[in-house]
Structure 1
Amino acid sequence: MNHKILQILKNGGLFVLLLGLTFYIILKDNSLSQIASAVSDVELPYIFLGIGAMAIFLSCEALNIMRCLKLFGYEVSPLSAMKYAAVGFFFSSVTPSASGGQPMQVYYMYKDHIEVSHSTLALLFELLSFETVTVTLSIIGFLYQRNTISASMGNLKYLLLIGVGLNLMVMLLLIMAIFSRNAIKKAAKAVTRLVGFFSKTKADVLEELFTEQITEYQQSARYFKENKMIFAKTLTTTLVQILAMYSVPFLVYKGFGLGDFNVLEVIALQSVLYVAVSALPLPGALGVSESAFMILFRTMFPAGILSSAMVLSRGISFYLFVLVTGLCVAGLVLIKKKGASYGLYHTNC
């Protein structure tokens, strides 16, 4: 437990450091008063629409979690599903390569009496849908806006290729993990051998655990194979989820009273930006996302408001919801501690 706390503090410290460095770079050439002045000119309804779009993003995540867990007989309430979505968003945002989101969701589901094998498979299935949609949209976006992207990105186009390549690898690994028994066995065997170099006793325990979990895992996978429509529904929900997030820059664009570019052009650029930076081992892709925004969207926003547009777009789609979901996680911890101190805490929500 102490190790987990130290790891969270370390990741949180890195997040704060990157956040400070990012805003130092932004404000180096643009005073805070200039950015505040430009942001104050944005029409408020578009800001609220952007916040609403991100609320849709989290709601779609919650809906997919509910749908996938229902296959295993779990009737998860909308409130609990939103809790898991908030936990996933927050820990994905503050850990490198979004590595902390799913493990923490599995932890909170386990505390609510959901089997680890079931929660893991449900989240892997949901992640596969997420990767499928983001990679597909990025390829379509690049083809649709290739001239603008090629002219704007320069050597950064290689970052896009790396991002797409890594995300494609993740997709293939997820497909193997969900649908291939041999792939899971080989992966488990490799991990057991690695642990065996340091401790044969732990390796034996791990092998027994893997054998038990793989059997459960494959039984769970049959649910998805026998309910193929579940993936179509999950993909549709994920498409709505991603388009909602990608629409934030367009809403900011309209909020500044601009209209030379349409919604498809803006979403195409955002889809490319997201995949290009998503695989980088930085919490929330801090710094890189902001820099890539300034490069990709410079043909769209006038130079005088580009920095303000970036701050507002990232503020709505990332910083604000890191704060909101972080407060939710803090509230869950406080409720658990308070309940435990009075002997009233129940894990099921």
Structure 2
Amino acid sequence: MRNKKKAIFNTIFLILIFSITVYMVFKGEDLGEIIHTVRQADPVYLLISVVCVVLFILGESVIIFYMMRTLGAKVKMGHCALYSFVGFFFSCITPSASGGQPMQIYFMKKDKLPIPVTTLVLMIVTITYKAVLVVIGIVIWIFGRGFLEGYLGQYMWVFYLGVGLNIFCVTFMMILVFAPGLAKWIMVKGLKLIEHFRFLKPKTTRLEKLEASMDQYHETAAFWASHKLVILKVLLITMAQRILLFTVTYWVYRSLGFHGYSIITLTILQSVISVSVDMLPLPGGMGISESLYLVMFAPVFGEALLPAMLLSRGISYYAQMLISAVMTCVAYFIIGRKEQEEK
């Protein structure tokens, strides 16, 4: 019952944010003209952008497959791809992408993969996924601040906030991994403080679950220390995976017949949006992503700005969500049916 209520809340929240975003972006605009411009886009370049989105998703499946095999777990590459589609679908529709990994663990459990192994793998995937954003954000912050100010202007604070939140998140996760004793002390004290101020009712089971979850991070630290080359390869794959998705705006740019800006410039600008909105509690950064896009890419697309945003966000987020939704249904059919046949 609790899961159903949470699903209903997330659906209503998603629809509400989507409706507000559409209203704010297209209010007072000539929709007929926008649709006409979209129809003129070169389908070849749009197809390339869709391929980049699919490769972005499958990049995670390569990491999952590689790490599972490293840990001695028998898993099929096709099923790893389904885990990735499931994860990205639920990440797209839940605030702060919080629903992805629990659903991945759910399907991995149906495939009879050991929970400690799946938790370890997904934990490292999360850390490296965030760490790559931190690296990109810091590099741009140090070497491209002047360049960025020309595009963001008074909205630079959003970028700084995004970088800061990502650094905090990665730092906290690294403390959990490499200083589990300190992390456990912080978490236990924090829980007791919350219970002391009556934000939560005191429960012994809650404390036990928290302490047990902290022990999982110790296993992550042990793996990290003994598999440095594996972690490096995962970081490199994750970097390539992220960059592939960031190039979508460039392919949209080319589809609309533009040539002036390089793929490097537009990829950097798109990465700035991702760094800025990644940690915000909105599904897919909806609303704020569109706002930043309209600010940053105004000099790039000119009068074609709204059609460009419609295509870029439509492919990088909404198409990603739709493709992942279809493949999630396939996962239910294939993995769920396999479990029923075995029973």
- Give the TM-score taking structure 2 as reference length: 0.90
Work out which of the residue numbers 189, 197, 201 in structure 2 matches 1:198. 201
Flag the 1:149–1:224 CA change in 2: closer, same or farther, 3 A: closer
1:82 equivalent in structure 2: 81
For 1:178 and 1:215, locate their aligned partners in 2 and report how far apart those are by CA, in whole Å: 9
Q: Runs of 5+ in structure 2 lacking a partner?
A: none
1:16 equivalent in structure 2: 15
Q: Runs of 5+ in structure 1 lacking a partner?
A: none
- Give the TM-score taking structure 1 as reference length: 0.88
2:249 equivalent in structure 1: 249
Which moves more between the two structures, 59-68 or 173-182? 173-182
In the alignment of these two chains, the number of paired residues is 339
- Which structure 2 residues correspond to residues 99-110 of structure 1 after superposition, within 5 A? 99-110=98-109
1:66 equivalent in structure 2: 65
Q: Is the 8 A contact 2:86 2:100 kept in 1?
A: yes
Aligned-residue identity in percent: 28
1:344 equivalent in structure 2: 341
Q: Is the 8 A contact 2:86 2:331 kept in 1?
A: no
Flag the 1:173–1:114 CA change in 2: closer, same or farther, 3 A: farther
For 2:274, the aligned partner's letter is Y
Which moves more between the two structures, 143-152 or 229-238? 143-152
Which moves more between the two structures, 46-55 or 276-285? 276-285
For 2:334 and 2:68, locate their aligned partners in 1 and report how far apart those are by CA, in whole Å: 25
Deviation at 1:259, TM superposition (A): 1.4
For 1:201 and 1:142, locate their aligned partners in 2 and report how far apart those are by CA, in whole Å: 45
- The C-alpha deviation readout for 1:188-210, integer Å capped at 9, x for no partner, is 5346645697344424xx52x55
Q: Is the 8 A contact 2:61 2:84 kept in 1?
A: yes
For 2:164, the aligned partner's letter is G
Flag the 1:211–1:10 CA change in 2: closer, same or farther, 3 A: closer
Q: Is the 8 A contact 1:130 1:238 kept in 2?
A: yes
Flag the 1:117–1:189 CA change in 2: closer, same or farther, 3 A: farther
Deviation at 1:45, TM superposition (A): 0.9
Deviation at 1:151, TM superposition (A): 3.2
Deviation at 1:336, TM superposition (A): 6.9
2:132 equivalent in structure 1: 133
For 1:141 and 1:220, locate their aligned partners in 2 and report how far apart those are by CA, in whole Å: 29
Flag the 1:144–1:50 CA change in 2: closer, same or farther, 3 A: farther
Q: Is the 8 A contact 2:252 2:311 kept in 1?
A: yes
Flag the 1:214–1:275 CA change in 2: closer, same or farther, 3 A: closer
Q: Is the 8 A contact 1:141 1:271 kept in 2?
A: no
Q: Is the 8 A contact 1:181 1:218 kept in 2?
A: yes
Flag the 1:15–1:215 CA change in 2: closer, same or farther, 3 A: closer
Deviation at 1:59, TM superposition (A): 1.1
Q: Is the 8 A contact 1:56 1:241 kept in 2?
A: yes
For 2:143 and 2:217, locate their aligned partners in 1 and report how far apart those are by CA, in whole Å: 40
Q: Is the 8 A contact 1:139 1:272 kept in 2?
A: no
For 1:115 and 1:104, locate their aligned partners in 2 and report how far apart those are by CA, in whole Å: 15
2:28 equivalent to 1:25: no
Residue 47 of structure 2: SS of its match in structure 1?
A: helix
- The C-alpha deviation readout for 1:303-344, integer Å capped at 9, x for no partner, is x2100000000111110110111222234446677778xx53
